[in-house]
């Protein structure tokens, strides 16, 4: 179980959220909604231990989540921003980095990914293409396929600002619902109303 108790985080520009308390279980599909999506992304990063909370605490199975515990959290959690800036690496190299970072080297491989891509109709040649040469929608499809294949107990997805190019909402929700139906806890940080309302649970984030 992932639990937040009176959690407040600060964004990069110093904004502070009203304290939040809630608990989440595997199999749930949850949206964290804020008009300023950077705020929702900051809370998501605190959940995975990338940044510290200002006050309150986050626990996973009763153990506190902190930046120091982040390496251990990779056994159960994965964080996926669906927009990666200026990434001069091939999709193949990116996949290898993600697999290594999430401690799945001996569990998943390229063959499994390409089988998944065949089912999802993602072109095989995307694998050897420079990632930043793919259009935004294709990048998001590729990143979601990585998240699906990893099958972490908890998958945290930072959805880009809704002024950016997004996958069709129906496609995005279909992907994350499939993960939740596979008994994963899937959390989306978004400022897109349609995406937020398409999840089973919506948590609104307010600024102080």
Distance between CA 81 and CA 74 in Å, rounded?
15
Distance between CA 63 and CA 1 in Å, rounded?
10
pLDDT at 66: 84
The pTM is what? 0.91
pLDDT, mean of each 10-residue run, the chain (208 residues) = 93 84 96 93 90 91 85 82 80 88 70 93 94 91 93 93 84 95 95 95 93
| Long-range pairs for 123-128: beta carbons < 8 A, 24 or more residues apart | 126/91, 127/90, 127/91, 127/92, 127/95, 128/90, 128/91, 128/92
CA 207 to chain CA centroid, Å, is 22
pLDDT at 166: 79
pLDDT at 106: 58
Give the single-character DSSP code of 128.
G
């Amino acid at each position: 179980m992932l639990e937040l108790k009176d959690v407040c985080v600060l964004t990069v520009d110093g904004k502070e959220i009203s304290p939040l308390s809630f608990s989440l279980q595997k199999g749930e599909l949850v949206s964290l909604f804020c008009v300023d999506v950077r705020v929702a992304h900051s809370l998501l990063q605190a959940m995975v231990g990338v940044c510290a909370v200002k006050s309150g605490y986050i626990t996973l199975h009763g153990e506190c989540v902190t930046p120091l515990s982040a390496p251990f959290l990779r056994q159960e959690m994965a964080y996926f921003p669906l927009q990666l800036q200026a990434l001069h690496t091939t999709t193949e190299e990116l996949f290898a980095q993600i697999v290594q970072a999430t401690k799945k080297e001996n569990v998943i491989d390229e063959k499994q990914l390409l089988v998944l891509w065949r089912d999802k109709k993602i072109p095989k040649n995307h694998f050897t293409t420079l990632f930043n040469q793919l259009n935004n929608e294709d990048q998001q499809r590729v990143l979601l396929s990585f998240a699906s294949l990893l099958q972490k107990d908890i998958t945290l997805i930072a959805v880009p600002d809704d002024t950016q190019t997004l996958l069709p909402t129906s496609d995005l929700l279909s992907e994350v619902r499939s993960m939740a139906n596979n008994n994963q806890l899937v959390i989306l940080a978004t400022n897109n109303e349609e995406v937020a309302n398409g999840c089973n649970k919506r948590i609104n984030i307010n600024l102080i």
